[in-house]
Amino acid sequence: MTRDMSYEGVMSRRAEIMKKAVGIDYSEFESGSISFDYERMMRETGYSLQEIEEIQSRTGVGNTPILELRNLTKLARKFAPMGKGARIFIKDEASNPSGSFKARRAATACYHAKKLGYKGVIAATSGNYGAAVASQAAMYGLKCIIVQECYDSRGVGQPEIIEKARACEAYGAEVVQLTVGPELFYTFLIMLEETGYFNASLYSPFGIAGVETLGYEISMEFREKEGRDPDVVVVTNAGGGNLTGTARGLIKAGAINTKIVGASVSLQGLHMASDTEFNKKSFTTGHTGFGIPFATWPDRSDVPRSAARPLRYIDRYVTMNQGSVFYMTELLAQIEGLERGPAGNTSLVAAFKLSQEMDEDQIIVVQETEYTGAGKHINPQLTFARENGIEIIIGEPKDEVPGKNIILPRDPSYITLTELDLNKTRKSYIRNAVNNIKATKVTKDDIDFLVKDTKSNIEFVKEVLDELEIEY
């Protein structure tokens, strides 16, 4: 019997392929309606924090240094009111084996794949996660395939993504490179079916649990050094896993008063699946093109139920322009002596600005850095932008139009953040949750779930349901 390999044919086998490739029967946690048992899924399919610490330490992942950015703090205070300007710290995740915090997610995924007897792992990623999975697969003797969205129809690729392909190959992985389009998922499914490898999804319970150690370490280290938890932790947000894992780790440490701020680069106006706009952006991750869709509908990921649910944990969500992140990356090298990749510095821009509204004795932490190198550096990225018709301007960041220009702030006082109305995001999420199953009525369980999944309250959820004319 030959299998139907057409787009529709393969997509219709999606659930079956995924079940085999992730080793989780998600239906066990489903209620049959909107709600599902998130915490039980995390508990029963994931690992405990102690187990993960052990798994990660075996491959040199985690326990990265936390550095105080004294010069950047001093600079922030120059532009802050008297007595304001919280101390800024950064967790140097670039010192993980593959150069980013993604090693934490990959470590648990590959450990799990090996334990379950899979011969190899596959991940669909154009970012640091590819190198992370390839590196961990090398350590475990697993075969590895990375599927990337890399080129536009002219065959022009983002330098950052091409560098990631190189890194994956350096670790012995096969890299499959595709042009723009969400049908990457189709190719991904074909490969999972053909090879029988493990889907090292970014959104599995093991992947997210792998990030919990990051939040836990932050709390432990600050208690040791400063005698208390940090006031704010800023997380660059894309698919939501970094934020979810870090927040869960902080909660597991008991750091319940630490506020979680999400930060994304604003790519408003650019369509992520557009062939002609693909190379008009200068950030391939940590931007609103992922951040907003994944916050308002986490289950759009490559597993039936995503373990990354950022609205459960986020207290505040800010965005900024591309130019400010490039500026901050240069500043980090120039006044702190740390040359790191741009993507991780999105939250640093946020921290620089937020610090100025906090008291001097408060602490704000940026929880990641990433490696830098050819392609993955402000210089090649700005060169690439210019070659694709993007103007580079020194001026007012607020005037930046993604796809048209990149505006570097004239001086530090020009850095501004845009506050996202989280209630609007929560509303969109509830609408999606309802529409996705075409519900006309929801259960009490569903309401409880929606309250938790949006970190809101019963009144808020009921108000939104009323607006949507959904019975409960």
Q: Which residues bind another protein (CB under 8 A)?
A: 7, 71, 74-75, 78, 120, 143-145, 150-151, 153, 155, 159, 162-163, 165-166, 169, 172-183, 186-187, 194-195, 271, 273-277, 326-327, 330-331, 333-335, 374-375, 377-384, 386, 392-394, 408, 411-412
Closer residue to another protein (CB): 11 or 15:
11
**271 is written with which tokens?**
């369509």
CB of 64 to another protein, least distance (A): 25
Closer residue to another protein (CB): 78 or 441:
78
**149 is written with which tokens?**
């969205």
**128 is written with which tokens?**
């640091």
Cα–Cα dist 279/283, whole Å:
9
Closer residue to another protein (CB): 25 or 194:
194
CB of 80 to another protein, least distance (A): 13
Cα–Cα dist 150/284, whole Å:
10
CB of 15 to another protein, least distance (A): 18
Neighbours of 1 (CB within 10 A): 2
Closer residue to another protein (CB): 188 or 206:
188
Q: Residue 463: which H helix or E strand, with range?
A: helix 458-467
Closer residue to another protein (CB): 71 or 432:
71
Neighbours of 427 (CB within 10 A): 20
Closer residue to another protein (CB): 65 or 269:
269
Query: Residue 373: exposed, middle, or buried by beta-carbon count in 10 A (0-12, 13-18, 19+)?
Result: middle
Closer residue to another protein (CB): 34 or 349:
349
* Span between the terminal Cα atoms of the chain, in Å: 47
Cα–Cα dist 26/185, whole Å:
19
Q: Are 441 and 451 in contact (CB under 8 A)?
A: no
**327 is written with which tokens?**
């500026």
Closer residue to another protein (CB): 385 or 420:
385
3-state secondary structure of 2: coil
Q: Is the dihedral of CA 240, 100, 320, 314 positive or negative?
A: positive
Instruction: Please give, one letter per residue, the 3-state secondary structure of 344-357.
Output: HHHHHHHHHHHHCC
State the greatest distance between any 2 C-alpha atoms of the chain, in Å, as a whole number.
76
How far is residue 118 from each of residues 142, 331, 430, measured CA to CA in Å?
A: 8, 44, 37
CB of 249 to another protein, least distance (A): 33
CB of 340 to another protein, least distance (A): 15
Residue 458's identity, in one-letter code, is I
Closer residue to another protein (CB): 229 or 277:
277
CB of 155 to another protein, least distance (A): 8
**443 is written with which tokens?**
């259960």
CB of 354 to another protein, least distance (A): 19
> Could you tell me how far CA 321 lies from the centroid of its own chain?
18
Closer residue to another protein (CB): 31 or 276:
276
Which strands make up the sheet holding 87-91, listed edge to edge?
66-68, 87-91, 363-366, 232-236, 259-265, 316-320, 418-419
CB of 435 to another protein, least distance (A): 15
Closer residue to another protein (CB): 36 or 384:
384
CB of 107 to another protein, least distance (A): 20
CB of 76 to another protein, least distance (A): 11
CB of 386 to another protein, least distance (A): 8
Q: Is the dihedral of CA 106, 110, 111, 113 positive or negative?
A: positive
Cα–Cα dist 224/465, whole Å:
46
